[in-house]
Amino acid sequence: MKKKLGLLYGGKSAEHHVSLQTALAVINALEHDKFDIHPIYIAENGEWIKGPLLNGKVESVTSLQFSHGEALPPTALAPTLFQAEQSEGSFDVIFPLLHGPNGEDGTVQGLLELLNLPYVGNGVLASSAGMDKVIMKNIFAQAGLPQVNYVWFIRSEWEHNREKAYGVVEEELGYPCFVKPANLGSSVGISKCSNREELEGAFKEAFQFDRKIIIEQGIEAREIELGVLGNDKPQCSVAGEIIPKVEFYDYKAKYEDGNTALIIPAEIAEDEYAMLQELALRAFKALDCSGLVRADFFLTKDGQAYINEVNTMPGFTPFSMFPLLWKHTGVDYPQLIERLVELGLERHEEKQ
């Protein structure tokens, strides 16, 4: 029996275009004799559109063309899914291939929980805690995971007394520091600052994307990432290294210029790998993750590891780090997708 899979993609987020690439890749890779795929597109304005499959090539976002079916206002979605249940048979599983706010942050997961539909990836709590860098870091701190120092502000605090906010950053962290919107990904709105003038610009920029921002001590380190896959007994992939050829791993380096080298497996010592694995699994457990995460670390020259973040729905094209890490670990792209579906179904059953 084919599984009826609802593929949610797009999303009302600055990472909308990343999701388009991912969705197309997943559609191409899913075994069509095992899955009956029903794409549901979420437009940038938040409109939900049920319709035909995306087509195009997974090379760049701009090469995508897609045709859509019937548009549904967001509030019509839930009844629509229910209707599908009555008339055409229920979805067996939903794959929310969404990055960033309104998708990777627990909102869509909450809707799916209410609809009692099994879905791929992290649940409500891990998704929302993982999306907010401040909450995530607070949880990691409580779990004793090593991190760089950070401070955070909400917009109104900063508007009330800007000098004070800059002073706190300079006193507690110094330069260089990184200013980031608390709830985003793909490096959107992130700046590296080396002085007060840059700090002021960076605050303005980051607050355009979020009412809450985080500022971290800048660190000189290698960037090493590990994939984690599983539910109660998660496993780690090999480690990979990112070598951006720009100042830091910004949006352009991630998706546009193709100039970033991904080195898999990363050339790190056995004991460093063992340490990172242990930290990745502790991070997974601390956030109560399920399905998957990509755990991202900084590794300094003297072998000190700091967790930077986890991504609860990491970039997922066949050329993205997470699938490549698993490929090198012995799980190819179609197998990985199937495994994720199984894990989603397993979690749903265990909850019942």
Q: Tell me which residues are annotated as active site.
A: 15, 186, 255, 294, 296, 309, 311, 315
Distance CA 212, CA 158 (A): 10
- How do beta strands 3-10 and 93-97 pair? parallel
Tell me if 127 contacts Mg ion by CB under 5 A: no
Q: Is 194 exposed, middle or buried (0-12, 13-18, 19+ CB in 10 A)?
A: exposed
Tell me if 180 contacts ligand ADP by CB under 6 A: yes
How many residues make contact with ligand ADP (CB under 6 A)? 18
Rounded to a whole number of angstroms, the minimum distance from the CB of residue 10 to ligand ADP is 19
Of positions 84, 135, 148, 345, contacts ligand ADP by CB under 6 A: 148
Rounded to a whole number of angstroms, the minimum distance from the CB of residue 133 to Mg ion is 8
Residues paired with 262 in a beta bridge = 242
Nearer to ligand ADP, 35 or 249 (CB): 249
Three-class SS string for 91-122? CCEEEEECCCCCCCCCHHHHHHHHCCCCECCC
Tell me if 309 contacts ligand ADP by CB under 6 A: yes
Q: Which stretch binds Mg ion (CB under 5 A): 62-70, 202-210, 264-272, 310-318?
A: 310-318
| Positions in 221-240 near ligand ADP (CB under 6 A) | 223
Q: Which residues contact 107 (CB under 8 A, 6 or more apart)?
A: 101, 128
Q: What is the DSSP string of 1-25?
A: --EEEEEEEE-SSTTHHHHHHHHHH
Tell me if 128 contacts Mg ion by CB under 5 A: no
Q: Tokens standing for 125? A: 């709590």
Q: Which of 331, 346, 254 is nearest to 296 (CA)?
A: 254
Q: Which stretch binds Mg ion (CB under 5 A): 56-64, 75-83, 101-109, 311-319?
A: 311-319
Nearer to ligand ADP, 109 or 311 (CB): 311
Q: Tokens standing for 165? A: 């906010």
Tell me if 135 contacts ligand ADP by CB under 6 A: no
Rounded to a whole number of angstroms, the minimum distance from the CB of residue 256 to ligand ADP is 15
- Of Mg ion, ligand ADP, none, which one sits near residue 148, judging by CB under 5 to 8 A according to partner kind? ligand ADP
Tell me if 186 contacts ligand ADP by CB under 6 A: yes
Please list, residue by residue across 150-185, b when 16 or more beta carbons sit within 10 angstroms of its beta carbon and e when fewer do.
bbbbeeeebeeeeeebbebbeeebeebbbbbbbbbb
Of positions 185, 189, 227, 315, contacts Mg ion by CB under 5 A: 185
Q: Which stretch binds ligand ADP (CB under 6 A): 75-83, 119-127, 180-188, 226-234?
A: 180-188
Q: How many CA atoms lie within 13 A of 24 on its CB side?
A: 21
Residues that bind ligand ADP (CB under 6 A): 148, 178, 180, 184-187, 190, 216-219, 223, 248-249, 296, 308-309
Residues that bind Mg ion (CB under 5 A): 185, 309, 311
